[in-house]
Chain A
């Protein structure tokens, strides 16, 4: 079976191998997406505008169900990136849990130990 995992040009790879430690800039702290209400608020408040003029009007989320609120382009951490693509920041080897704690938390990586609370359709 052919391996398609690295079927992309070299310049698009995010293979660190010690050569590109900053290949993918950190754009958004993952914990800021922890709940629906917080996600919109944090996106709108935690970034400096990258442009002075926003064509898309800025508006606040009024309730947690309003996930489709229009985020102004100036506040969108992924502004300028092609649409319909998924982006995953490149993970670095750091903040490793002790093995016993890792087993309890479900990951050896502190950075992947997310505070999911089981809300939003999950019992």
Chain B
């Protein structure tokens, strides 16, 4: 693994921030389903969340099952890296 990989904590912070934004706008959209600005915000932050999860998975292993890319290697790496709540995981 490259030493130039981004800081794990920074990546987690980014994931947490954009994920929270997605969750909160989701609640707003439940009661404002036609709000174009909110829809635009949701799309933007959902994309940011996907990208952040993908980037984290690339360097530190998948956080969600959606970012497991089993085709890229010949073994199951889901349990290799420490989980975010474990020491060294975040």
A residues near B, CB below 8 A? 15-18, 91, 93, 96, 99-100, 102-103, 107-109
Contacts and interface: CB of A to CB of B under 8 A. Distances in A.
A102 B21 contact: yes
A103 B17 contact: yes
B18 A99 contact: yes
B56 interface: no
B17 A16 contact: no
Sort chain B's interface into a size bin.
10 to 19
Interface stretch (B31-39, B60-68, B71-79, B81-89): B31-39
Nearest to A18: B34
Contact of B45 (A15, A16, A17, A99): A99
B25 interface: yes
Contact of B28 (A17, A91, A100, A102): A91
